[in-house]
Amino acid sequence: MSIMETQPQKILRSGWNTYVNDYAISGGWNYNGEALIICDAAGGIYVFDGKSGEVIWTQRQVHEDGILSAAIHPLTNRFATGGQDGKIIIWNTHQKNKEKVIDLGGGWIENLSWSQDGEMLAISCSKTVYVYTKEGDEIWQSNNHNSTVSNLGWSINKELATTCYGRVCFFDGMSGKVKQKLEWKGSLVSMVLSPNSDIVVCGSQDNTIHFWRRSTEQDSMMSGYPLKPSALSFDETGSYLATGGSEEVTVWSFKGNGPEGTSPLSLKLHKKPITTLAFAHRGMNLASGSRDGAVVLWDLKSENEESGLSETSVSDSVSKLYWRPDDKALAGLDRQGGVTVWHV
């Protein structure tokens, strides 16, 4: 694999890289950044030492027919995986053994999400969502949504947000009571909540972005994207929203009265459509990946189009980018099973 550094600052310095057995679809850093957990589409789990890239443990085919989703616990050494076998497994980062297996009896487990306090795990399977304790005991399950649930997320107030065709729904995380429904006739393919959880943004199948301010239920739409905006990321302050949906990274400013009536910033370095976006946990660094395997690190402090800091690439379409909790390293996953870690 070739790592090329186009910028003299060398902001992204090569750390380590390796390959897993199939398309690297999901994973993340454990809460303290010591381990990087990667799941491949064939159902393999790989836990790497974050510094050296050495394999701590690995296990193949943990889900029959493959893994679809994974979620890393925010505060402890736990993570969860979901598969095409209708099962969710809760693992310990340090050990190979399963802590808990939840069997929903069939259906694809397409989304998993830990609440921000780490007390609850939300699961989506077909049109239903389930909320479990961190130990793996069921708390509640929802009625059927309009269609298969497409995204899950948690607010800072322990509310579970779900999307499906035509709707964003907020549930009380503890009771499962519906607290808010936001409707829009469209297939919502992506979702992100602002850090204060007041704004919920969705990318839609019709190549638009739709967002609501929850406090007023006022909604707005941003159109003009040539493709589905499936990659979305807010910065830590909620001032900037980075969106994909083309070969450019489009950044909307929510400062003042924006983004309504404002023009977004267009970041142009990628040659193929954006597949994933990740703001750093702190500060204005934004990482973007595209279908051709290019990875770009941007610094948005300057608020101009010349903010590309560093450009590098992986072997194929970038599936995910994960910042280490201390933001000093970035992990990139790709379609060929490549796992690359850069120091920042």
Partner 1 sequence: MDSSSNKVPVTILTGFLGSGKTTLLNRILSEQHGKRIAVIENEFGEVGIDQALVINAEEEIFEMANGCICCTVRGDLIRVLGNLMKRRDKFDYVVVETTGLADPGPVAQTFFMDDEISSEFSLDGIITLVDTFHINQQLGRSNESTEQIAFADVIVLNKTDLVKDSELDNLEARLREMNKMAKFIRSEMANVPINSVLDKSAFNLDQALIRRPTFLEPEYPFEWTGIYSTKPGKYKIIMSEGPDPSMSLVIELDQNTDDVSLRNGAEHCVRLYAEDAEIIKPSEIIPKGKHVNLNLESLGQKEFYVEIEKDTKIGLFAQHTAEEFNMKLIEVNNNDEVPVEVERTWVAQHEHDDEVGSFSIEKDGDLDEQKLQAWISKLLREKGVDIFRMKGFLSIAGESNRFVFQGVHMIFSGKPDRPWGSLPRRNQLVFIGRNLDEKEMRKGFEDCLV
Rule CB under 8 A: is residue 59 a binding residue for partner 1? Answer: no
Question: Among 78, 335, 341, 342, which residue interacts with partner 1 (rule: CB under 8 A)?
Answer: 335
Rule CB under 8 A: is residue 128 a binding residue for partner 1? Answer: no
Question: What is the side-by-side order of every strand in the sheet holding 13-19?
Answer: 13-19, 338-343, 329-334, 318-323
Count, residues near partner 1 per rule CB under 8 A: 32
Rule CB under 8 A: is residue 228 a binding residue for partner 1? Answer: yes
Question: Among 22, 159, 247, 311, which residue interacts with partner 1 (rule: CB under 8 A)?
Answer: 22
Rule CB under 8 A: is residue 341 a binding residue for partner 1? Answer: no
DSSP string, 183-219: EEEEEEEEEEE-TTS-EEEEEETTTEEEEEETTTTEE
Residue closer to partner 1, measured from CB, 185 or 255: 185
Rule CB under 8 A: is residue 145 a binding residue for partner 1? Answer: no
Stretch in the footprint of partner 1 (CB under 8 A) among 17-25, 89-97, 235-243, 304-312: 17-25
Question: What is the side-by-side order of every strand in the sheet holding 138-141?
Answer: 109-114, 120-125, 128-133, 138-141
The single-letter DSSP state of residue 26 is E
Rule CB under 8 A: is residue 172 a binding residue for partner 1? Answer: no
Residue closer to partner 1, measured from CB, 23 or 212: 23
Residue 160 to residue 121: CA distance in whole angstroms? 10
Residue 283, phi-psi category: left (phi > 0), alpha (psi -120 to 50), beta (remainder): left
**Would you say 321 and 280 are in contact if contact means Cβ atoms under 8 Å apart?**
no
Rule CB under 8 A: is residue 227 a binding residue for partner 1? Answer: yes
Peptide bond into 259 cis (omega under 30): yes
Q: How far is the CB of 194 from partner 1 (least distance, A)?
A: 23
Rule CB under 8 A: is residue 147 a binding residue for partner 1? Answer: yes
Rule CB under 8 A: is residue 66 a binding residue for partner 1? Answer: yes
